[in-house]
């Protein structure tokens, strides 16, 4: 039997691009917080930093990387993918090298910026943009496949890093990561994208039959519907970051042990992955624009349960529902910009939206912490977040189509 025949149609048509999209998202894991946090205490101690200083450096690096992505995200529209791969790999590998050198605060700060911009920024942006751009007929399933790179990285990278650190010290996984990126990742991803021309050359004049007219970023900024859709995309990362950052405080107020919280995260992971894959066909059937308002409903339900009930079971149910919305939003949100605004300027538009996501996650812990410091109980905070989540869904549901 031909092995290609067992694969879905959209993968058989463009197997190299489908694999690239998933791997690029997985490679972004080297710049994601779940990977960095494994070494947090060792890095902070080695650099002689307080908790506040360490957190401030990381937050600043994240904010600067968001600004750089806003400016340079359009490169995936005007450069061939292979050239963008070279740039992203160089930046990410340099960041891993600088963090692993244990060279002090300055090198650590530059290293954090490079891993956040190259990893969380460029690699994640390239993978999701590729899935949304080149698989119009099966965009939802392609975006879901690309998004599965996140749980893949979450499963592999921290465990591998902890194993290496236990044998040779915390800095060795960072140095090994730099070598792995240059010697293994770069040749593979370059090979997969070697024949893909720049979108401005490849897509101009070819998308009228199956895609909306391509809007420029300037046109999108003037579109009222953009500001009605965006909150639904920001809702999941904002709410998840706000609550998980203060998870110890939430557990204390609810009477949960941290062991309960840790085991409940299996429900979050299961909800995330299951919804990620299950939402792809739904997006292809009814559109991303119609799926996105539905995506916030599990999270709203989970927050209302957190507000109204106590007990160990609440941790499992609320985190599972939060994971479902995270997966659904990743799929629908990854496809919605291509669906609304076309393909030619997709990288530029998505970079703008992704920068807003990063800014929202930077603000979330501060706002939630302020409200908790004011004496708000978790029941009131969760109720406020639930109402906000539902409002975001309503706005997305009634967002007008862009002017053609």
Three-state secondary structure along 141-183? HHHHHHHCHHHHHHHHHHHHHHHHHHHHCCHHHHHHHHHHHHH
- What is the C-alpha separation between 25 and 2, in angstroms, rounded? 28
- Mean of pLDDT over the chain: 90
- What is the C-alpha separation between 147 and 127, in angstroms, rounded? 8
Give the CA distances from residue 140 to residues 274, 280, 394, in Å, rounded to whole numbers and listed in that order.
14, 4, 21
- What is the C-alpha separation between 329 and 400, in angstroms, rounded? 19
Spatial contact of 345 and 214, defined as CB atoms under 8 Å apart: yes
Q: Label residues 250-259 b or e (16+ Cβ within 10 Å = b).
A: bbebbebeee
Report residue 193 as tokens: 């994208």
Q: What is the pLDDT of residues 229-273, one digit of tens each?
A: 999 999 999 998 888 778 878 888 999 887 888 788 888 888 988
Spatial contact of 372 and 292, defined as CB atoms under 8 Å apart: no
Spatial contact of 261 and 306, defined as CB atoms under 8 Å apart: no
* 401: DSSP letter: P
Can you say how many angstroms the Cα of residue 158 is from the centroid of all Cα atoms in its chain? 17
**Angle, in degrees to the nearest 10, between helices 139-147 and 258-286:** 160
Please measure the distance between the N-terminal and C-terminal CA atoms of the chain and give it in whole angstroms: 46
CA dihedral 45, 46, 48, 52 (to 10 degrees): -50
Nearest to 30 by CA among 240, 186, 193: 186
Q: What is the pLDDT of residues 61-117, one digit of tens each?
A: 889 999 999 999 999 999 999 999 999 999 999 999 999 998 889 999 999 999 999
- What is the C-alpha separation between 99 and 172, in angstroms, rounded? 10
Residue partners of 91: CB distance under 8 A and separation at least 6: 114, 117, 118, 122
Spatial contact of 213 and 404, defined as CB atoms under 8 Å apart: yes
Give the CA distances from residue 85 to residues 75, 78, 354, in Å, rounded to whole numbers and listed in that order.
11, 13, 19
Residue partners of 373: CB distance under 8 A and separation at least 6: none
In a structure prediction context, what are the per-residue pLDDT tens digits for the chain, which is 404 residues long? 455 566 777 788 888 999 999 999 999 999 988 888 788 888 888 889 887 788 888 888 889 999 999 999 999 999 999 999 999 999 999 999 999 998 889 999 999 999 999 998 999 999 999 999 998 878 999 999 999 998 888 888 888 998 999 899 999 999 999 999 999 999 999 999 998 888 866 665 555 455 677 899 999 999 999 999 999 999 999 998 888 778 878 888 999 887 888 788 888 888 988 998 899 999 999 999 999 999 999 999 999 999 999 899 999 999 999 999 999 999 999 999 999 999 889 999 999 999 998 888 888 888 888 888 888 888 999 999 999 999 999 999 999 999 86
pTM reported for the whole predicted model: 0.87
Report residue 153 as tokens: 């990285």
Report residue 156 as tokens: 């592999």
Report residue 21 as tokens: 């999209």
A 10 A CB-CB count for 15 gives 13
- What is the C-alpha separation between 299 and 207, in angstroms, rounded? 35
């Amino acid at each position: 039997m031909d092995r290609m025949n067992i694969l879905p149609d959209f993968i058989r048509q463009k197997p190299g691009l489908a694999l690239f999209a998933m791997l690029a998202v997985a490679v972004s894991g080297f710049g994601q917080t779940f990977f960095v946090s494994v070494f947090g205490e060792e890095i902070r101690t080695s650099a002689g930093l307080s908790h506040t200083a360490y957190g401030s450096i990381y937050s600043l690096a994240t904010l600067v990387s968001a600004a750089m992505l806003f400016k340079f995200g359009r490169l995936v529209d005007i450069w061939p993918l292979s050239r963008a791969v070279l740039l992203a790999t160089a930046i990410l590998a340099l960041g891993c090298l600088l963090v692993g050198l244990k060279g002090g605060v300055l090198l650590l700060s530059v290293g954090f910026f490079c891993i956040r911009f190259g990893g969380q920024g460029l690699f994640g942006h390239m993978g999701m943009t590729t899935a949304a751009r080149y698989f119009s007929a099966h965009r939802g399933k392609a975006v879901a496949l690309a998004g599965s790179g996140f749980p893949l990285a979450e499963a592999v990278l921290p465990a591998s890093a902890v194993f290496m650190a236990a044998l040779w010290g915390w800095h060795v996984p960072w140095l090994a990561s730099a070598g792995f990126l240059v010697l293994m990742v770069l040749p593979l991803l370059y090979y997969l994208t070697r024949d893909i021309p720049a979108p401005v050359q490849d897509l101009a004049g070819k998308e009228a039959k199956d895609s909306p007219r391509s809007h420029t970023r300037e046109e999108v900024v003037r579109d009222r519907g953009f500001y009605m859709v965006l909150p639904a995309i920001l809702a999941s990362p904002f709410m998840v970051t706000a609550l998980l950052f203060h998870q110890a405080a939430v557990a204390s107020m609810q009477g949960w042990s941290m062991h309960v919280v840790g085991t409940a995260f299996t429900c979050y992971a299961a909800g995330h992955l299951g919804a990620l894959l299950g939402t792809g066909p739904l997006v292809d059937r009814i559109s991303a624009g119609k799926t996105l308002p539905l995506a916030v409903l599990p999270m709203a339900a989970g927050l209302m349960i957190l507000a109204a009930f106590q007990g160990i079971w609440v941790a499992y149910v609320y985190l599972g529902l939060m994971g479902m919305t995270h997966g659904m939003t990743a799929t629908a949100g990854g496809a919605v910009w291509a669906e609304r605004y076309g393909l030619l300027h997709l990288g530029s538009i998505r970079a703008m939206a992704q920068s807003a996501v990063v800014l929202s996650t930077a603000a979330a812990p501060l706002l939630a912490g302020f409200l908790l410091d004011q004496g708000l109980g978790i029941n009131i905070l969760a109720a406020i977040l639930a109402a906000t989540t539902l409002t975001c869904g309503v706005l997305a549901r009634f967002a007008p189509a862009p002017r053609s």
